[in-house]
Structure 1
């Protein structure tokens, strides 16, 4: 599939993003880490610039930061899957 067809097919991807939250503490206590706050989770497809046929599917877990010097910012961690042992592939 070429880039134009892929972009057209994924045109609704932002509308299909789902809010999520990090896994809770095993004893039911609230988490204290950066992923304990609500975040946005969506699946993204990335293509290599030099080879559009080389594609990577990554799971994005994003948090919003508002009111900073740079304005509103989203920061995302990218994983290779949704399983609990998924590898961090970018951020």
Structure 2
């Protein structure tokens, strides 16, 4: 008896395909459409979250910049000679 993984390609025994291995026969068109819709929703959600994160980051950066400017201005008022 030849082991299928050790035998050369032309000598390997053809293994019958199980119905669970063939996804096309298992799913009906409706299920495929539902799956596609879910994928689209997930993609949209991911995109939205990414946009939200980007916006949050931008806002944080702006706030930090503003705070830095304010600190610098305050420091200039307290120590006018430090500019030299």
Q: What TM bracket, shorter-length normalisation?
A: under 0.3
- TM-score w.r.t. the length of structure 1 is 0.16
Bigger radius of gyration, 1 or 2? 2
Structure with greater strand percent = 1
Structure with greater helix percent = 2
Compare relative contact order (CA 8 Å, sep 6+) and give the higher one, 1 or 2: 1
